[in-house]
Amino acid sequence: MLSVSGLVDAFAEAGEVPKEMTTTNESLKNSYTPASLVKKNIPGKRIDYIMYHPGSKIEVDLKKYNLPLPERVPNRSFSYSDHEAIEATLIVNKKRTCMSF
């Protein structure tokens, strides 16, 4: 899908990320993950993505890839969602063109 569409996966561009940031569904730290998976220490899956396509006149620089929310809602025993939120900070600029004379 990525090679045909020209999309860039922000997660892949981020390089090495901590293990706990590699799953967005059924994360072992998420309160909605079935206890049977947590007991067996079965890691979740990455099913949420941020993709972008820079285009021929645009350059995109990934500055940050992150799971921004805490494990639990403050003062509560549950997670915000069964999916982990993901965020990417992208710097988008027009490509500079060199003029030759």
Residue 83 appears among annotated catalytic residues? yes
User: What residue spans define the domains of the chain?
Assistant: 2-94
pLDDT at 19 (0 to 100): 86
Of 12, 83, 85, 95, the catalytic one is: 83
Query: What CA–CA distances, in Å, run from 48 to 25, 59, 62, 101?
Result: 8, 23, 17, 48
Cα–Cα distance measured from residue 35 to residue 39, given in angstroms and rounded to the nearest whole number? 6
pLDDT at 90 (0 to 100): 97
pLDDT at 21 (0 to 100): 87
pTM of this prediction? 0.80
Averaged over successive runs of 10 residues, the pLDDT of the chain (101 residues) comes to 79 91 94 97 94 92 96 98 97 82 61
DSSP-based three-state secondary structure for 51: strand
The residue with tokens 């982990």 is 84
